[in-house]
Amino acid sequence: MADSNADLDAFRAEARTWLEDNFPASLKDKGLAPWGARQEGVHVDDDARAWQASLGAKGWGTPTWPAEYGGGGLTNQQARVLQEEMARIGASNPIPAVAIMGVTMVGPTILDYGTKEQKQRHIPPICRGEIAWCIGYSEPNSGSDLASLSTRAEDKGDYWLINGQKVWTSGANAADWCGALVRTDTSKPKREGISFMMVSMKQSGVTTRPIQLISGSSPFCETFFNDARAEKNDLLGPLNEGWSVGKRLLQHERASQTGGRGSGSGPAPKPIHEIAKTYVGTDEQGRLADLDLRGRIVEQVMAAAAHTLTTRRIAAEAKGNVQVSAAQSIMKNSATIVGQLHAELMIEIMGNQGLGWEGEGFSKSEIDATRAWLGGKAQSIYGGSYEIQNNIISKNILGLPETTQKG
């Protein structure tokens, strides 16, 4: 049931008071910089630690998660109000960033498929941002055809022995745990012999190696399992039914990539039309001087607004439903188009200043825009490529015939 306006007004007053009492003024408008997004060697000061602890104890780092496992227990409407109030005072929510894939992907999947013991063990530390997760899906020879993966988990009686290699494991070098798809039965058709395993990264059988990207950062890693160990209760979901668990996690991933789950990461960025006025100039009526650019910016802003509203509707319809839906494939491709178009327009607006990589001739925002443009090229690949999403949409929504190899 939707919250009434009176209920939301009361909650807004509660949230505003709590934030004013608990959010350190020293962190205003700093975004996630004080936490370094869990980068190694980044010093986290006392105010940042205190804010993370307060947010985690309140459950508002994961506002809509069940309160019994450390979440906030809020409705979607209340969570949006909280995000608005955090943005109003320049507050950020560092917990999704420091948990890496814990909040956006693994945690929701554990809530869907985990036993009560698994939820009690893993969810509270994710809510507090104390444990970071990565995802072990792609392999050197298993990208778009993920079901051909060869990393194996052998049943050793009282534990699982894991051997194999994963690639593009974001944040693996800083993660405490990995949610990995592994092959547990080689005699079955490839999708039917896969299980979802939760693997501790803090063991000698696991090594990682960062992969340098064109944007200058290294969020991705190669991950090697050499006689790594997982306990019997680290199996998430039924044995050999990990393909369904894995698809559900991808649905959560696409929701996080499409703007379906706000993190309250700080104040809203400056609107693109205001940035354009700074670089391009205005006419005598105060409008953007370049008429063609003005029209294209309007189209981008409208597309972004439509995307946001549709994402909210899909999230509301999917609440409490663990069935894997193809709707997020539509939103994943929509987010890719909206995000990449925004980045390209930013570079065009900045002109020569949009080509900066480093040096005193460029501001931080200009350098950030360049790197965001380059980094955003991967958006149409990670989380399931643009073409793969189109295949899912064509088969599962439009009902077009299967034209790819089954297995």
Would the pLDDT of 4 be above 90? Answer: no
pLDDT of residue 262: 46
Q: Is residue 104 part of a domain?
A: no
State how many domains the chain has: 3
Least confident of 57-71, 153-167, 189-203, 273-287: 273-287
Please answer whether residues 225 and 163 qualify as being in contact, where contact means their C-beta atoms are separated by less than 8 angstroms: yes
pLDDT of residue 134: 96
Spatial separation of the C-alpha atoms in residues 127 and 123, rounded to whole Å: 6
Domain co-membership, 72 together with 186: no
Would the pLDDT of 281 be above 60? Answer: yes
Q: Is the dihedral of CA 198, 200, 206, 208 positive or negative?
A: positive
Least confident of 150-154, 297-301, 389-393: 389-393
- Kindly provide the residue ranges of all beta strands, DSSP E only, lying in 111-237, ordered along the sequence: 133-136, 152-155, 159-167, 177-183, 194-200, 206-211, 220-231, 235-236
Domain co-membership, 291 together with 201: no
DSSP state of 141: T
* Residue 246, CA atoms < 13 Å, CB-side half-sphere: 27
Spatial separation of the C-alpha atoms in residues 100 and 38, rounded to whole Å: 8
Spatial separation of the C-alpha atoms in residues 20 and 268, rounded to whole Å: 19
Q: Which domain holds residue 19?
A: 5-98+112-127
Quickly count: other Cβ atoms within 10 Å of residue 208's Cβ: 18
* CATH number of the domain residue 142 falls in: 2.40.110.10
pLDDT of residue 257: 62
> Mean per-residue pLDDT for 373-382?
83
Q: Which of 180, 176, 110 is nearest to 138 (CA)?
A: 180
Q: What pLDDT, in 10s, does the model give residues 348-371?
A: 999 999 988 888 899 988 998 998
> Mean per-residue pLDDT for 209-229?
86
Q: Quickly state the pLDDT bin for 331 (edges 50, 70, 90).
A: confident
> Mean per-residue pLDDT for 122-145?
94
Would the pLDDT of 177 be above 50? Answer: yes
* CATH number of the domain residue 318 falls in: 1.20.140.10
- H runs (alpha helix) in 258-326: 272-280, 291-318
Would the pLDDT of 256 be above 50? Answer: yes
pLDDT averaged over the chain?
88
The 3-state DSSP class for residue 304 equals helix
- Percent of the chain whose pLDDT exceeds 70: 90
Q: Which of 191, 299, 173 is nearest to 240 (CA)?
A: 191
pLDDT of residue 254: 72
> Mean per-residue pLDDT for 138-153?
91
Domain co-membership, 227 together with 167: yes
Enter the pTM of the model: 0.79
* CATH number of the domain residue 38 falls in: 1.10.540.10
* Residue 64, CA atoms < 13 Å, CB-side half-sphere: 21
Spatial separation of the C-alpha atoms in residues 43 and 30, rounded to whole Å: 15
The 3-state DSSP class for residue 287 equals coil
Domain co-membership, 176 together with 288: no
> Mean per-residue pLDDT for 279-285?
91
Would the pLDDT of 322 be above 60? Answer: no
> Mean per-residue pLDDT for 16-34?
93
pLDDT of residue 296: 94
pLDDT of residue 145: 85
Spatial separation of the C-alpha atoms in residues 92 and 80, rounded to whole Å: 14
Q: Quickly state the pLDDT bin for 2 (edges 50, 70, 90).
A: low
Domain co-membership, 116 together with 148: no
- Catalogue the active-site residues: 253
Please answer whether residues 216 and 223 qualify as being in contact, where contact means their C-beta atoms are separated by less than 8 angstroms: no
Would the pLDDT of 260 be above 80? Answer: no
Would the pLDDT of 407 be above 50? Answer: no
pLDDT of residue 386: 79
> Mean per-residue pLDDT for 122-131?
97
Q: What pLDDT, in 10s, does the model give residues 52-108?
A: 999 999 999 999 999 999 999 999 899 999 999 999 999 999 999 999 999 999 999
For 357-374, letters b (16+ CB in 10 Å) and e give eeeeebeeebbebbbebb
> Mean per-residue pLDDT for 318-345?
78
Domain co-membership, 294 together with 392: yes
Q: Is residue 407 part of a domain?
A: no
SS3 letters for 218-245? CCEEEEEEEEEEEEHHHEECCCCCHHHH
Domain co-membership, 280 together with 379: yes
